[in-house]
Amino acid sequence: MSTAILALKDEFPGIAGGWHYLDTAATAQKPQAVIDATVNALGRDYATVHRGVYARSAEMTLAFEAARRRTAAFLGGAEEEIVFTRGATEAINLVAQTWGVENLKAGDRILLSTLEHHSNIVPWQMLRERTGVAIDVCPLTADGRIDVDEAERILTPAHKLVALAHVSNVLGSVLDVRRAADLAHAAGALLLVDGCQAAPRIALDMAALDCDFYVFSAHKLYGPTGIGALWARKAILDAMPPWHGGGAMIDRVTFEKSTYAPAPQRFEAGTPMIVEALGMAAAMDWLSGIGLARAEQHERDLAARLRAELGKRNDVTLFGPEDSVGIVSFALDGVHPHDLGTILDEEGVAIRAGHHCAQPLMDHLGVPATARASFGLYSDDNDIEALLKGIERTRRIFG
């Protein structure tokens, strides 16, 4: 039973009044520290970056670049390896449309997995339309992990990229990134990791993971919407062509020709997400202050507790492995997840019901949708109890 971090609820105005918010995998509520940092960046401290000759702008530029260093430290990477993007989705599209277009051609192959979020499927399909690259899909183990043994069997020298989720947004299953990186590299491929659900829950160290690209969104790690990052090895970023053209990404512009800034600025056209970057850095400070080891334990404990409780019911099907982190998908016999979600809402319990932007995974599970409860650092046993009570009430209504 998790009682480790119960005192945090008070820091989150978004769940004041006892709302049982169990949709953190969609987006996390924000601690007051992040709200304050964002309000100050937008108010008291606001100015543009990289351009102004006045002191406020110079200060904001320092704060903005400090946010890049903060992000690098959070990931265990270097600041030149951090590209600010609008989020994970944009980061994957950036890699597909720059690295992918430059390096992949007909005859090459990409390996994804059955459990990927649409944002780690559709950009590669769009790349397939442009380049003729083929896409293979790594199956899952019976309990809902990416089957890395199968990946080893599938990979050939034709594979140039493997792109996998670190933590499944539906099943909470955790990928052994280091093993996936070793297998990809042995085949001569690069590894892109979708870290959206891992970044808030698992301590990250790019050197130890040994992947080549890592992407995440700040709004899932207690930061603001509209920002995230792409981490990529410096040598890879340096060799990638620019993507969006405009201000801030250039070295020199004439009508005959433009030359480009080095990475990461080459990939950040236009006025950047100044406020969002400072908010993201504050979120990383806040989360690191709690400690990622504690966060992971908390999320594993809550998922295990909920799985154990739901496992006692003979009218519930649980999806995903026993050791999932922070995310539990399930079905209540004879009740559509949307109906369950609606009744739970009346009880002040917010879960997600739907395909979770993972329709191929729903096809694999043989369901149109699942009910998903997902935890954050503010979640506690009371939230689980409220969910179980709501499920019981739903059972009584549906018979």
Catalytic residues: 357
Helix (H) / strand (E) containing 60 = helix 55-75
Please state, in angstroms and as integers, the Cα–Cα distance from residue 276 to each residue in 13, 38, 62, 199, 345, following that order. Answer: 19, 7, 15, 17, 30
Span between the terminal Cα atoms of the chain, in Å:
30
Q: How many residues bind ligand PMP (CB under 6 A)?
A: 13
Out of 119, 131, 370, 374, name the contact with ligand PMP by CB under 6 A: 119
Q: Which is nearer to ligand PMP, 70 or 166 (CB)?
A: 166
Mark residues 60-79: x for contact with ligand PMP by CB under 6 A, - for none.
--------------------
- Encoded amino acid at 54, one letter: Y
Q: Which is nearer to ligand PMP, 295 or 391 (CB)?
A: 295
Copy the structure tokens of residue 177: 């990134």
- Kindly give the residue spans of alpha helices, DSSP state H, lying in 96-226: 101-103, 122-131, 148-154, 177-186, 206-209
Out of 113, 131, 173, 217, name the contact with ligand PMP by CB under 6 A: 217
Binders of ligand PMP among residues 183 to 202 (CB under 6 A) are 194, 196-197
Instruction: List beta partners, residue 250.
Output: 260
Out of 9, 117, 201, 266, name the contact with ligand PMP by CB under 6 A: 117
Binders of ligand PMP among residues 159 to 188 (CB under 6 A) are 165, 169
C-beta separation of 12 from 32 below 8 A: yes
Helix (H) / strand (E) containing 162 = strand 159-165
C-beta separation of 24 from 2 below 8 A: no
CB of 229 to ligand PMP, least distance (A): 11
CB of 197 to ligand PMP, least distance (A): 5
Out of 89, 93, 374, 394, name the contact with ligand PMP by CB under 6 A: 89
Interaction site with ligand PMP (CB under 6 A): 87-89, 117, 119-120, 165, 169, 194, 196-197, 217, 357
